[in-house]
Amino acid sequence: MLTGGKNRIEKGVDLLSKGYGNKLLISGVFMPSEIEAKFSLEKEKSELFKCCVFFDERSKNTLENAVEVDKWINQNKDIKSIILVSSYYHLPRCIMIFQKKIRSKVKIYPKPAVQNANFRNQFFFHLRLIISEYFKVIYTIVFIR
């Protein structure tokens, strides 16, 4: 299950191709054909799109992503755990929302889309992201049920 930008898709497809799951839901994406085209040159990954990659094109935010993932899990009763891929700064809030909105008893394993963010070269950019996300986490704790 993926939420967020381009890097998360690459990370999700990579995890799937390495056997860390047998299905991949890419949630909150509006151009699945572009994603499929990107991986079409890599035969192994291209084959995954025929059997194992699913798209949710309706979700526009994290809350909607979680609701759609819950529906998808309920349609795929064999799923016992998910790997939640998102940006490092968004993962804490993502996990909170998914734990609140997914009714199935699946285990959620968080995975940042990019392991090594360059904090030194873009310190203020990352600081702004983290501060913004902090206030969103507070909002989630108080208002999301």
Assigned domain for 1 exists: no
Q: What is the CATH number of the domain that holds 104?
A: 3.40.50
At 42-76, the pLDDT tens digits run 888 888 988 999 999 889 999 999 999 999 999 99
Higher-confidence position of 114 and 25: 25
The string of pLDDT tens digits covering residues 69-121 is 999 999 999 999 999 999 999 999 999 999 999 998 899 999 999 877 777 88
pLDDT at residue number 28: 80
Q: How far apart are CA 85 and CA 88, in angstroms?
A: 9
The answer to whether residue 56 sits within a structural domain is yes
Q: Is 120 exposed, middle or buried (0-12, 13-18, 19+ CB in 10 A)?
A: exposed
- pLDDT for 6 equals 62
124 falls within a domain: yes
Tokens 């969103």 belong to 136
How much is the average pLDDT of 15-33?
A: 88
Q: Could you list the residue range(s) of the whole structural domain that residue 97 is in?
A: 6-143
Q: How far apart are CA 2 and CA 89, in angstroms?
A: 14
Provide the domain count of the chain.
1
The rounded distance, in Å, linking the Cα atoms of 142 and 49 is: 39
Query: Looking at residue 44, what is its pLDDT?
Result: 81
Mean pLDDT, residues 19-33:
86
Residue 85 lies in a domain: yes
Does any domain span residue 96? yes
pTM of the model: 0.85
CA–CA separation, 66 and 29 (whole Å): 14
Structure tokens at 69: 């993932």
Which pLDDT score, from 0 to 100, does residue 75 have? 94
Q: Is residue 108 part of a domain?
A: yes
Furthest-apart CA atoms within the chain: distance in Å: 46
